[in-house]
Chains A and B, each alone.
Chain A
């Protein structure tokens, strides 16, 4: 049905104006509540305006709230953000509780999140602090001057000890006869 998000604009995580580095600034600047005074579809919106709107405005002094009554048209919330984004949302037939939650989402987000698909979930200016790994990190400096191929550097010492080798070691330990009891208690 909908593959809309496949064609969404891809983007990276950003915060406008270095937000949060010094102090935090609420990104929602303006919110417009459009509703009808008589239509049933605006019922929840009218409830919200009667019960919660004054508290909302008091708690968020940085947000400008406009009310726009209009006859026989559906209820709508429009939020405008500091980065210039504008989010238009229909709240047709939504209840008071739903509208409260949606307005909370509009208040706390930093722009129009729905319009971009995030490609990375982290952003950093300093991708590596100890330096990126190369095949030569933590290698002996003699490798720089060694003539390759070199049996000392080319030896495969990464294989686990073979059974034959282990048996031979055990045999030699037995022959030596020195403190073979200690070996048993090692682990």
Chain B
């Protein structure tokens, strides 16, 4: 009996859970847009985050997609990017593919990217050189097989100048591109 009761309770939760029951989801989908109201807590949280952004309360960080890799960057970081990449020394670059940005107290998670223009990551190209010589050595015993190759990959060193949350959260996006 107790088992069945527990099951029933779980079922009731599925249908009308406090946050996202199946029925509640339908209800919100069916409701007209005008009557949809943003809950007060959401408003409070967004206002608090905007307040923190305005005060520039703490250091920001961002996760940036660059040449197939994801880097967690903050002000003053150095990145070494391997492979051919056109920018030359002294270039100031805005890194636009921001996957996530955050401060000490909150994070903005992109789906997959944060809204364009919201987060500004600016970097300077410091150095473009070659890596140390890497040896690729292959040998198979008793098979008269040996290959040796040497290679040096192009390396670009980037200095992250600033990670800034440029505009307010929940504002209409500016047309940046």
Residues of chain A touching chain B, judged by Cβ–Cβ distance below 8 Å, are: 1-5, 8, 13-15, 19-21, 24, 26-27, 105, 108-111, 113-118, 121-126, 129-130, 165, 168-169, 172-173, 176, 179, 182-183, 186
Can you pick out 19 interface pairs between chain A and chain B where the beta carbons lie within 8 Å of each other? A14-B78, A24-B90, A26-B89, A105-B128, A105-B130, A108-B129, A109-B128, A110-B127, A113-B129, A113-B155, A114-B133, A118-B131, A121-B82, A122-B80, A124-B73, A126-B61, A129-B61, A169-B7, A183-B22
Which B131-153 residues sit within 8 Å CB-CB of chain A? Answer: 131-135, 137, 148, 150, 152
Q: What chain A residues lie within 8 Å of B4 (beta carbons)?
A: 172
By Cβ-Cβ distance, the 4 closest A-B pairs, closest first, are A109-B129, A20-B159, A110-B127, A108-B128
**In the bound complex, do residue A121 and residue B80 qualify as a contact, i.e. CB atoms below 8 Å apart?**
yes
Q: What chain B residues lie within 8 Å of A19 (beta carbons)?
A: 126, 159
Q: A102's closest neighbor in chain B, by CB?
A: B130
**In the bound complex, do residue A114 and residue B90 qualify as a contact, i.e. CB atoms below 8 Å apart?**
no
Tell whether B77 is near chain A: CB-to-CB under 8 Å: yes
Which B16-74 residues sit within 8 Å CB-CB of chain A? Answer: 22-23, 26, 58-61, 71-74
- Smallest beta-carbon distance A165→chain B, Å: 8
Contact of B104 among A1, A122, A129 (CB under 8 A): A129
Tally of contact residues, B, Cβ under 8 A:
51
Contact of A124 among B74, B88, B104 (CB under 8 A): B74
**In the bound complex, do residue B59 and residue A126 qualify as a contact, i.e. CB atoms below 8 Å apart?**
yes
Contact of B130 among A21, A114, A123 (CB under 8 A): A114
| A157 to B98 Cα, complex, angstroms | 34
Residues of chain B touching chain A, judged by Cβ–Cβ distance below 8 Å, are: 3-4, 7-8, 10-11, 15, 22-23, 26, 58-61, 71-74, 76-80, 82, 88-90, 102-104, 107, 124-135, 137, 148, 150, 152, 155, 157, 159, 161
| A169 to B82 Cα, complex, angstroms | 54
**In the bound complex, do residue A182 and residue B129 qualify as a contact, i.e. CB atoms below 8 Å apart?**
no
Q: A183's closest neighbor in chain B, by CB?
A: B22
**In the bound complex, do residue A182 and residue B26 qualify as a contact, i.e. CB atoms below 8 Å apart?**
yes
**In the bound complex, do residue B107 and residue A105 qualify as a contact, i.e. CB atoms below 8 Å apart?**
no
**In the bound complex, do residue B76 and residue A5 qualify as a contact, i.e. CB atoms below 8 Å apart?**
no
Other CB < 8 Å A-B pairs besides A105-B128, A121-B82, A182-B23, 15 of them?
A2-B148, A13-B80, A15-B157, A19-B159, A26-B89, A118-B80, A123-B77, A124-B74, A125-B76, A125-B77, A126-B76, A129-B59, A130-B102, A176-B8, A186-B22
**In the bound complex, do residue A5 and residue B89 qualify as a contact, i.e. CB atoms below 8 Å apart?**
no
| A183 to B26 Cα, complex, angstroms | 11
Q: What chain A residues lie within 8 Å of B90 (beta carbons)?
A: 24, 26
**Central interface residue in B26, B82, B124, B125, by most chain A CB within 10 Å:** B124
Q: What chain A residues lie within 8 Å of B88 (beta carbons)?
A: 108
**In the bound complex, do residue B104 and residue A130 qualify as a contact, i.e. CB atoms below 8 Å apart?**
yes
- Smallest beta-carbon distance A20→chain B, Å: 3
- Smallest beta-carbon distance B81→chain A, Å: 8
**In the bound complex, do residue B77 and residue A15 qualify as a contact, i.e. CB atoms below 8 Å apart?**
no
| A3 to B73 Cα, complex, angstroms | 34
| A171 to B154 Cα, complex, angstroms | 64
| A141 to B89 Cα, complex, angstroms | 50
- Smallest beta-carbon distance A178→chain B, Å: 8
**In the bound complex, do residue B126 and residue A15 qualify as a contact, i.e. CB atoms below 8 Å apart?**
yes
